[in-house]
Each structure stands twice: as C-alpha cells, then as structure tokens.
Structure 1
Amino acid sequence: MIRQFDKYKGIHPGIVLDRELKKRSIKQRPFALSLEEHPQTFNAIIKGKRGISTALALKIERELGLEEGTLVILQAYYDIQKIKEKESKSTPNLHILSKALFWDTDIQHIDWERQYRAVIQRVFERGNENDKNEIIRFYGAEKVSQALQKSNIRNPYTIYRSDKTTD
C-alpha cells in the first residue's frame, strides 16, 4: 500500500476517496457514471454508509492511478477497527463468564449497558471469582460498587477482595 495512505488506517475508504476526488477536482456523479456505477451507491460509499466492494475498488484505483488494493486494504482496516470497537464496548468476555449464570437468557441478546444492574446483581449473587472479576473489568469497580449498593446484596466490599490481595 502506498505510504501516504498509512495514516488512513481505520478510516472509511469512502472518506479517503472523497478527499482524493476533491483534490483532483473530480465531481462525484460523473465519476460514478464513468465507472458504470449508480451515483446513489457511490454517494453512500463516499459518506461512509456503505462498504466498498473489491470489484469497485479495483475500478476506482485503475481510474485514479492508485496502487492496486489500496482501497480494499483500507476497507479491511476499517472493518477491523469497527469490530474491535464493538467488541471492546459491547460485551464482557463471554468465555470467562460461567454459562450457568445466564441459563434462562440468550446471552447474545443481553443489552449489557441498559441491564447492567441486573447483570451485576446476578453475577455477584451466583458467580464465582472469575465471573466477578470479569464484570468488574468490564463495568469498572465504581459502577459495580454503586449497582451493588442499590441492590439487596449485603456486602459490596467483596468486589475489592482481588484488589486487596496485591498489597
């Protein structure tokens, strides 16, 4: 990949393409038509609302004289970035949590942010130390402590046990 595009890793390739077209004073609609693509599809790509296919990326790269594979690689880096963001924010590590904790629920459909009090309460009532540590890592000790204080669990101090052993 051309070094000038290294700084664009994780950015949607449509945004990079838009900058490139503007830099060359090329209008979006005529360019899309010259590639035999629908202008609406092209516009969705430029705005970052749609991914760029390999076939279209090759057409664009040929037309603009870009190194082959540049836009495809940018799309791959963008997809990787989105998956990492989603994984880091959306769920705790489900491989650590005991399956029995959520036996009555489809764990894939839990809204971890909206239902955090119920999740924390369940884990601290029924979970083992690994379960508790993962929930503390995911939500943070402060949020867990606050949720436990509002629940009927008597000893919210137990969440700090693992921290105390490192003294």
Structure 2
Amino acid sequence: MEKQFEKYKGIHPGIVLDRELKKRSLKQRPFALSIAEHPQTFNAITKGRRNLNTALALKIEKELQLEEGTLVFLQAYYDIKEEKNKQENSAPDLSLLRQSLFWDTEINRIDWLRQYVAVIERVFERGNNKEKEEITNFYGVEKVQSVLMAKDKKLPLINLK
C-alpha cells in the first residue's frame, strides 16, 4: 500500500477515492464511464454507501496509476473496523441490568441483537428507569418505540434528555 494512503486505514475506500479524484480535478461521472462503471454505483461507493469490490478496485487503481491492492487493502481495513464496532456494541452494559429480569435464562447467553423484541418487552414490563434507559441507549429510541407500539403496549417511555 502506498504510504500516502496509510493514514486512511479504517476509512471507507470510497471516501478516500473521492478525495483522490478531487485532488486530481477529475469528475466522478466521466471517470466512472471511462472505466465502464455505472455512475450511480460509482457515486454510492464514493459516498461510502456501498463497498468496493476487488474487480472494480483493480480497474480504478490501474486508471489512477495507484499501487495494485491499495483500495482493496483500504476496504479490508474498513471491514475490520466495522466488524470490531459490531462486536463491541453487541450487548448493553450488563452491570446496569438486574439478572433477576432474566430469571429464566443466563444473561450472558442472550443474543441481544436477535432477541431484541423479547428483551425490550421484558425490560419495559419489569425494569426500573435505569434499566429502561440502558436498553433505550443500546437499541435506540425508534427501535424501542416500534417494538412497544407493535405489541400495543402503552408502557411509558422514560424521558431521555
């Protein structure tokens, strides 16, 4: 990987590509067409909304005369960063939740992402305000409200500041 791109590890390669195009005064649409890529797809990549596949990365690197593999490595580092973020945020702060809320299961074995409906319902039926706040922070206000509304539960949400 070129040294100039080392500082971009963990940033979406499309963002880096967009900066590189601007630095070279190249417009996205003509560049995308020059490498036989759909401009809409290319735009989604440069906005970080779509991942950069290896075949396209090689075409871009060749056209921009970048070292082969630079954008592929940036995509890999970005994927690693995203996966680490997912793993870190895979459970709420268990020190704020009473184990007695989950008397029928081991709290450490709960799949917080797959079983979110049951978790939200249980905490909002039996939990205290601190526990409700932690679950709301973990899942987000919209997700909590949608679960509670879907079950026609009129349980009060805590007031988050």
Q: TM-score scaled to structure 1, two decimals?
A: 0.61
Match of 2:73 in 1: 73
In structure 1, the gaps of 5 or more residues are 93-98, 123-143, 149-167
Larger Cα-atom Rg = 1
Q: Contact 1:117 / 1:147 at 8 angstroms: preserved in 2? A: no
Two-structure CA RMSD over aligned residues (Å): 3.3
Alignment partner of 1:2 is 2:2? yes
Alignment-mate amino acid for residue 60 of structure 1: I
Structure 1, residues 3-54: CA drift from partner, whole Å, max 9, x if none? 1111100000000000000000001000000000000000000000000010
Alignment-mate amino acid for residue 21 of structure 1: L
Match of 2:123 in 1: 118
Alignment of 1:19-98 (within 5 A): 19-91=19-91
Q: Contact 2:91 / 2:112 at 8 angstroms: preserved in 1? A: no
In structure 2, the gaps of 5 or more residues are 93-103, 133-161
Change (3 A) 1:5 1:53: same
**How many matched pairs?**
119
Alignment partner of 1:147 is 2:131? yes
Other structure's SS at 1:90 match: coil
Alignment-mate amino acid for residue 131 of structure 2: A
